[in-house]
Structure 1
């Protein structure tokens, strides 16, 4: 009896253990089956032309900026322009008292008339003396003296004409005209003041606004690229923005210009090279002295296949991506042609391929995936930037 009871107890314990094991293992299997598909996010590869850019900080410069200064001493009699007014090259800006210069001009003209009359008389006498010298009516010495007088009066006549020309130049200085087309700056002198040529301040400045230039610096490593852009048949495009964000929704494009020149030397202290671009500026959004962000197009990749950086995975000796094929993924080796902080341009993929963009840490070749319901991502922006 004791042995039977012990056997029954043992069988019961074993049955309980079996039941408990079955109860514990069944939910685990269910969870394992349920978690077999790895949730991932995907994107679709799109083929498009992608320009490359380099960005930097630039300063807006006027192509022509002139400080208007007097070229003679005198009283400022009239100011014919207002501050901020647009003027054209040759427009009269101001006048200086010209009475003393006009008197000098009249005096020089009178002296010229006197010299002309004296020369006319001397030439008549010379002609007469020449005829008399043939018959020895006068001495050779008298004829030579008359010839010297004629030459002297001719030189005096030239001196009188030079004095007239000088007085006319001085008179032209009494009318101050704009040397360039541009905008008048803040006035420093009012009408009635006595102006001197030695005054360093000047009356005001005239600054050309349209077209305008932007000077900027780039790392010296960009020199070969810039030289290629300068040598190209079509100048490289340069965009100017207000602020550092050139891609955001609220980025303010100030103007579109063209690369015009690069400096003839690299700065030894900063390791940068200066370059300049010229911009049409009819809207006058660009203003001399303004700091802007510039973006230079350095290349254009036609029919490029680009993906966000997170799509590309790095193996031991190569790069690869996970491509979705049905409900599973496969490993696809790729070559990175170009990369930056925004995107990688790849070889080895095709337009329309669906690639895993998030969730790669749990994947391996042939793994089953569950694509999340978010809409597939596509490359919407057709540019790539290189930060200097």
Structure 2
């Protein structure tokens, strides 16, 4: 009996001790999670369209000879920069100099004949007055004088043509730019002329400034045309420089190169439904090369006041985009928004769905859920580093 009573007393003591320990370790409710909030930044921005295009030279010339002959010398290095008027090629000019000397001799002979026929005509004028010669003989001498004058004109033209042929034996750069490699070596026969299969000697392309050509669709063209009614014509056709544009090379992180539009074509290609546009950029350092690809950014709207939030604060719910905001009661409330472009600094333009006084959660998004209470800490809206 004494053993049974001791066991019962031990169980009761254990039960009472267990109940006391549970009451002492009862956990308190956790505090609301801390998040960082910021009001949207307000800024004047413009919408932009981006297109892929290619650089083209403002001027491009194929160097071909105007006279045929054997190539005597090459006076440039392949790929060098040349100035307008620099000597590039020389064709053997000996045969052309001989032709010039012959033409000058013929001109001297023709002028001598004019002097003789002119004196003969003056004598005939006195003789026909005295009736010493017939009218027919006087007309013959007049005709001889006129023929001599015509011979002088023809000989003079032959001299000028021979002088041009001698001049054409020296091929000079018609434009300033970078010349390619020579296509013909000295000693080869060069076929010249203005028609037929002439010999291509080299090519020259200008570098500064340089054009950038791209195409855009019909819908974009209509949008630009409507902008033009407000004085924002994309190309300002015939009215000075067009709108400012920016360009990014394939290894650039941002649109760092500035230029302006200078041309939009006058027809839409019916096969593609696109129209060709062109911008011009300074290229003093020779960074841009004809044929190089790049991306161009073109203004697509007049400037307007926009709200911006860090792009990292944007969430996705199926096809909809949203941001998490905190209301006056510190409760998380999602707001569905319409997005615009991303600006430098990873700031996203919000076109619809957000107010200027809304407090957007920009940090601590993993701790925030719609409908829960949070502890907001305010700071200025800025891009979050990735």
The answer to whether TM tops 0.5 is: yes
Cross-structure match for 2:349: 343
Could you tell me whether the CA contact under 8 Å between 1:38 and 1:363 is conserved in 2?
no
Secondary structure, counterpart of 1:328 in structure 2? coil
Cross-structure match for 1:60: 55
Deviation at 1:200, TM superposition (A): 5.6
Any idea what the Cα deviations from partners look like across 1:225-274, whole Å, max 9, x if unmatched?
44431238652222222227744xxx8x4x32211112233333433322
Any idea what the Cα deviations from partners look like across 1:284-340, whole Å, max 9, x if unmatched?
1101111112222334535432235786899xxxx997764665359799996x724
Deviation at 1:362, TM superposition (A): 4.3
Deviation at 1:123, TM superposition (A): 1.0
Matched, 1:293 2:299: no
Could you tell me whether the CA contact under 8 Å between 1:45 and 1:379 is conserved in 2?
no
Taking a change above 3 Å as real, the CA distance of residues 189 and 212 of structure 1, as seen in their structure-2 partners, is: same
CA distance in 2, matches of 1:363, 1:105: 95
Matched, 1:307 2:319: no
| TM-score, with structure 1 as normaliser | 0.75
Secondary structure, counterpart of 1:112 in structure 2? helix
CA distance in 2, matches of 1:311, 1:188: 59
Taking a change above 3 Å as real, the CA distance of residues 261 and 143 of structure 1, as seen in their structure-2 partners, is: same
1:326-365 to 2 correspondences below 5 Å: 328=330, 339-340=340-341, 342-346=348-352, 349-350=355-356, 354-357=359-362, 358=365, 362-363=369-370
Secondary structure, counterpart of 1:126 in structure 2? helix
CA distance in 2, matches of 1:192, 1:199: 19
Which structure 1 residue ranges, 5 or more long, are not aligned?
A: 1-15, 382-388
Taking a change above 3 Å as real, the CA distance of residues 100 and 321 of structure 1, as seen in their structure-2 partners, is: closer
Deviation at 1:376, TM superposition (A): 5.4
Deviation at 1:221, TM superposition (A): 1.5
Deviation at 1:142, TM superposition (A): 1.1
Could you tell me whether the CA contact under 8 Å between 2:60 and 2:205 is conserved in 1?
yes
Deviation at 1:124, TM superposition (A): 1.2
Cross-structure match for 2:179: 184
CA distance in 1, matches of 2:266, 2:251: 28
1:74-153 to 2 correspondences below 5 Å: 74-153=69-148
Could you tell me whether the CA contact under 8 Å between 2:83 and 2:177 is conserved in 1?
yes
CA distance in 1, matches of 2:91, 2:314: 74
1:215-234 to 2 correspondences below 5 Å: 215-227=213-225, 228-231=233-236, 234=241
Taking a change above 3 Å as real, the CA distance of residues 298 and 233 of structure 1, as seen in their structure-2 partners, is: farther
Cross-structure match for 1:207: 205
Could you tell me whether the CA contact under 8 Å between 1:46 and 1:379 is conserved in 2?
no
Cross-structure match for 2:229: none
Cross-structure match for 2:4: none
Cross-structure match for 2:243: 236
Secondary structure, counterpart of 2:184 in structure 1? coil
**2:189 equivalent among 172, 189, 194:** 194
Cross-structure match for 1:284: 286
Paired residues, number: 345
Secondary structure, counterpart of 1:265 in structure 2? coil
Could you tell me whether the CA contact under 8 Å between 1:60 and 1:291 is conserved in 2?
yes
Could you tell me whether the CA contact under 8 Å between 1:51 and 1:301 is conserved in 2?
yes
CA distance in 2, matches of 1:170, 1:99: 11
CA distance in 2, matches of 1:167, 1:149: 27
Cross-structure match for 2:11: none
Could you tell me whether the CA contact under 8 Å between 1:307 and 1:345 is conserved in 2?
no
**2:382 equivalent among 378, 381, 387:** 378
Which structure 2 residue ranges, 5 or more long, are not aligned?
A: 1-14, 226-232, 343-347
- Bigger mean CA deviation after superposition, 170-179 or 49-58: 49-58
Deviation at 1:278, TM superposition (A): 0.9
Could you tell me whether the CA contact under 8 Å between 2:263 and 2:277 is conserved in 1?
yes
Taking a change above 3 Å as real, the CA distance of residues 128 and 347 of structure 1, as seen in their structure-2 partners, is: farther
CA RMSD of aligned residues (A): 3.7
CA distance in 1, matches of 2:64, 2:263: 31
Taking a change above 3 Å as real, the CA distance of residues 149 and 194 of structure 1, as seen in their structure-2 partners, is: same
Cross-structure match for 1:42: 37
Secondary structure, counterpart of 1:203 in structure 2? strand
Deviation at 1:368, TM superposition (A): 4.3
